[in-house]
Amino acid sequence: MDEARLIRAFFGRPAPPAATVTARGRAAALAAAGGSPVRRAARHRPPGRLMMAATAAAVAVSLAVAVAGTTSAARRDRSDGSPAASARQFLLAAASFAARRPQRTGRYWHVLIHESYDTPVEASGVRFTVTLEDRQESWTSAASRADDTDIYQSLGFRPATAADEAAWRRAGSPGTVWIPGAPPARLPMAPGPVQVSSGERIWPGGLNMRDVQDLPSGQAMLKARLLQAGEHIGAPTRLPAPDLGRYRLFEVAAVLFRSAPLSPAVTAAVFRILAGLPGITKISNVRDGEGRSGSAVAMVVRAAGGGTVLSRLILDPATGNIRGDSEVVITPFPGLPWLQPGDLFSDHTVVAQGWTGTAPKSS
């Protein structure tokens, strides 16, 4: 099979977009419980809880071998009639796509990311769950270390499900709720003010714009650099050593894919590194936070204290471009009873990304 046919076989054609449904995220809950910090990004409307529960139930069976660190060559993933393809082949096809893209540059690297996540709250003695929504847009200068701009806005909260809305109404439909803790944190329902900040942007591992542009494209050197950067990223919970390294690689790749101007050669090398990791699988017909259909490569990570999480990178099925990343609960975490199978507790959707010559309006 030649390269063009390989790419068409593994990416296929995009499925028609579906109606976007309610977001279910868990990043804030994990942070409150001592897990990884909440990574603020921007507003979106990812797949709903029932869809995620069905996805988790399906992949929990198909990824049973992956939890142990291996993949099943017999597993078949179908996407709109496309031939079956393994995650490794899928990632290698994405690498081929990336390597053929032209190198581009500009005055600013512009990114708009959407995020929503859930957290348990309390009002008038009633407990329920709300969905928080954030929006973040950034411009990173290609030349000046002091010319980077972030525009962030919290868009408030809404009850996460119909049951949560009923509980919210029993509490008197409050415009302010409290996140349990010591001390409890006040959470307003109304959108917050637009916040503008500036200064040099730093990616995981202390990488600045020059460092990102100078990343090596050789897989051995790049993998070592990514692992080093991954030491600065918190895991969702305490992980055993074998899973920690591949989780860090997967997570650093997700952060850089969604927010950094990686060169085509480095992007291709990252895809090839991921293709060599054990326990990676492909999931077809996944909806991102904007309701767009894509294909995901996923990895199951088992926490040392119990519980498993499915980390996913979602790609555009037509181009291989990254659309976002998410983490889905497969089995519950001890001490985090609100995290149930199928719950989406960390999700980022890339709405816009690319070089531009236009400065932010605030500058």
pLDDT in tens, the chain (363 residues): 333 333 333 333 333 333 222 223 333 333 333 333 333 332 333 333 333 333 343 333 333 323 333 332 222 222 332 323 489 999 999 999 999 999 999 999 999 998 877 778 999 999 998 888 898 999 999 987 777 999 998 989 999 889 999 999 999 999 999 988 778 889 999 999 999 998 888 898 889 999 999 999 999 999 999 998 888 776 555 565 667 788 889 999 999 999 999 999 999 999 999 999 988 899 988 888 888 889 999 988 777 677 888 889 999 877 888 999 988 888 888 777 666 677 767 789 999 999 999 988 754
Q: State both tokens at 104.
A: 């581009």
Q: What is the pLDDT of residues 117-176, one digit of tens each?
A: 777 899 999 999 888 889 899 999 998 777 799 999 898 999 988 999 999 999 999 999
d(CA 7, CA 1): 10
> pTM for this structure?
0.73
Give the sign of the dihedral formed by CA 70, CA 75, CA 81, CA 83: positive
Nearest Cα to 70, choosing from 81, 86, 84, 83?
Answer: 86
Nearest Cα to 85, choosing from 301, 296, 299?
Answer: 296
Residue 108 phi/psi, 5-degree rounding, is -130, 145
Longest dimension (CA), the chain: 64
